[in-house]
């Protein structure tokens, strides 16, 4: 029987724990490994091109130091991939995952009745349903994928559209007021979003999922309307 391991960068793995886990994979004969990372690790930067592929550098920690550990764990998985080519290692970097069971910064943000946004900005955002993510992981294992793959859903919409479709109301704030407000609230533990997260409300992080589609023929089953409905429910 094949030995399979699925683990998540965004699930709180520290660098030392991740390194030890990967060492155990090599030592105990794991044959297929899926590391669930995140497309947010590319970073929300003003010069981001549309539809970034997997060769784009992970630069989220430049303006978002709280995410540095996740970037480093993703890098560890990449090193493992090349060091142990006999292990089918797949690093999945999905766009924003939404669904009834998902608890993440973007899902909790969209669950608010009123969402602060940055005045003058309306970046495109991509989403994928939680069940499509499960299907993608199964396909990665079935095909024994080796490499890094972006995982993309059915399309993209401006953030104000996502807010409206999930039942919220956007409250645009000037950035010179927004940043110090979030900085103080985060320092006091009153909000889960550090100041660096504000950049994701300004600049688009749109990914190309072409490589994964070509490798697995993946097609998302849930459209944007169903994705947003799952959050409202």
Q: How far apart are CA 128 and CA 153, in angstroms?
A: 4
DSSP the chain: ---EEEEEGGGT--HHHHHHHHHHHHHTT--EEEEE--GGGG---TTPPSSB-TTS---GGGT-GGGHHHHHHHHHHHHHHHH-TTSEEEEEEESEEESTT--SHHHHHHTSSEEEEETT---EEEEEEHHHHHHHHHHHHHTT--EEEEE--S-EEEHHHHHHHTT-EEEEE-HHHHHHHHHHHHHTTS-S--GGGGGGGTS---B--HHHHHHH----SS-HHHHHHHHH-
- At residue 9, does pLDDT exceed 90? no
Q: How far apart are CA 209 and CA 111, in angstroms?
A: 26
**82 — pLDDT class (breaks 50, 70, 90):** very high
HSE, side-chain direction, 13 A CA sphere, residue 158: 9
Over the chain, what is the mean pLDDT? 92
Nearest to 150 by CA among 96, 216, 93: 93
| pLDDT tens track for 194-220 | 999 999 999 999 999 999 999 999 999
Q: Which of 44-58, 59-73, 131-145 has the lowest mean pLDDT?
A: 59-73
Domains of the chain are 4-232 (3.40.50.720)
pTM: 0.93
| pLDDT tens track for 216-232 | 999 999 999 999 999 88
Residue 3's pLDDT is what?
Answer: 67
Residue 69's pLDDT is what?
Answer: 86
């Amino acid at each position: 029987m094949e030995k399979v391991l699925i683990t998540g960068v965004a699930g709180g793995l520290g660098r030392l724990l991740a390194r030890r886990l990967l060492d155990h994979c090599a030592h105990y004969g794991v044959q297929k490994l899926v590391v669930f990372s995140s497309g947010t690790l590319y970073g929300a930067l003003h010069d981001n091109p549309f539809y970034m592929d997997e060769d784009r550098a992970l630069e989220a920690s430049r303006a978002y130091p709280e995410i540095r550990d996740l970037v480093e764990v993703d890098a560890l998985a990449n090193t493992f991939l090349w060091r142990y080519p006999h292990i089918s290692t797949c690093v999945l970097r999905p766009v924003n995952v939404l669904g009834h069971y998902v608890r993440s910064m973007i899902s909790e943000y969209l669950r608010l009745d009123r969402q602060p946004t940055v005045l003058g900005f309306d970046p495109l955002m991509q989403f994928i349903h939680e069940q499509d993510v499960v299907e993608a992981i199964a396909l990665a294992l079935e095909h024994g994928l080796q490499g890094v793959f972006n995982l993309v859903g059915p399309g993209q919409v401006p953030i104000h559209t996502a807010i409206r479709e999930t039942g919220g109301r956007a409250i645009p704030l000037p950035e010179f007021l927004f940043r110090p407000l979030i900085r103080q609230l985060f320092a006091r533990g009153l909000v889960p979003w550090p100041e660096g997260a504000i950049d994701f409300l300004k600049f688009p992080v749109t990914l190309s999922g072409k490589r994964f589609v070509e490798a697995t023929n993946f097609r998302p089953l849930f459209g944007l309307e169903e994705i947003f409905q799952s959050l409202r429910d």
